Copies of this chain bind each other. A is one copy, B any other.
Amino acid sequence: MRIDQRALDQLRDIKITRNYTRYAEGSVLIEFGHTKVLCTASIDHSVPRFLKGQGQGWVTAEYGMLPRSTHTRSDREAARGKQSGRTQEIQRLIGRSLRAMIDLKKLGEHTINIDCDVIQADGGTRTASITGAAVALVDAVNVLIEQKKIKQDPLKGLIAAVSVGIFQDQALLDLCYEEDSNCQTDLNVVMTQAGEFIEIQGTAEDKPFTREQCNSMLQLAEQGIKELIQKQKTALDW
């Protein structure tokens, strides 16, 4: 039995609230249990310098945690004057994952800026961010289509992400903070709607993991992501 009474292969309560704020073209509050992330997608009608004139678009992401989203207060990165290595690692992961949803050629010379800001953190903030931002990105893409800024739908399909881990030699789905801090291995998986992999990032925190453990974790992740994509579809009225 897990800390929070879940079965080994059970997701936390997932809530996806679209149009959470007023101004962004896509604005989603996603909750994985106590983890709450506000994901916005903002359209910019230009592209970064390295893409100028190539007739394609871009999707990029930034990530931040409110200083007291965590159990003890963390420094505000804006006040310290730099983003931590962890923050940069996460926002690069979010950006890469979301670009896999989009045909950048069909997006035209537009940039969609994703912001994932963690309101409350209880483990899994990067996977919640990706899962929520995917929905916000769909909403922003639809704004571009409605405004006739683009002609073809650049969306390839949905993606979602979940963490899995090995805790006391058992594979667990969707770790909460306390599980995450105590597990032997932590694996974050991003997959497409079609059941293929976009990203796999596994780290042995305490002791190395075996090929069998790797397989069990990937198995659990596949199942969890399938459920998450179902939640996204429901939220999107698909």
Q: A residues engaging B (CB < 8 A)?
A: 21-24, 27, 34, 36, 38, 40, 42, 44, 62, 64, 66-73, 76-79, 81-83, 85-89, 91-92, 96, 100, 113, 115, 117, 119-120, 187, 191-192, 194, 196-204, 208-211, 214, 218, 222
**Residues in chain B near residue A200, CB distance under 8 A:** 187, 200-202, 214
* CA distance in complex: A73, B40 (Å): 10
Check A85–B81 contact: CB distance below 8 A.
no
**Residues in chain B near residue A222, CB distance under 8 A:** 211
Query: Which residue in chain B gives the minimum CB-CB distance to A189?
Result: B202
Check A38–B119 contact: CB distance below 8 A.
yes
Check A83–B78 contact: CB distance below 8 A.
yes
Check A66–B204 contact: CB distance below 8 A.
no
**Residues in chain B near residue A115, CB distance under 8 A:** 66-68, 73, 76
CB distance from A22 to the nearest CB of B (A): 6
Check B42–A68 contact: CB distance below 8 A.
yes
* CA distance in complex: A81, B214 (Å): 38
Question: Given known contacts A21-B69, A196-B208, what 17 new A-B pairs fall within 8 Å (CB)?
Answer: A21-B68, A23-B71, A40-B67, A66-B117, A73-B115, A78-B78, A78-B82, A78-B83, A81-B81, A82-B82, A85-B92, A86-B92, A100-B208, A196-B204, A196-B209, A200-B202, A214-B218
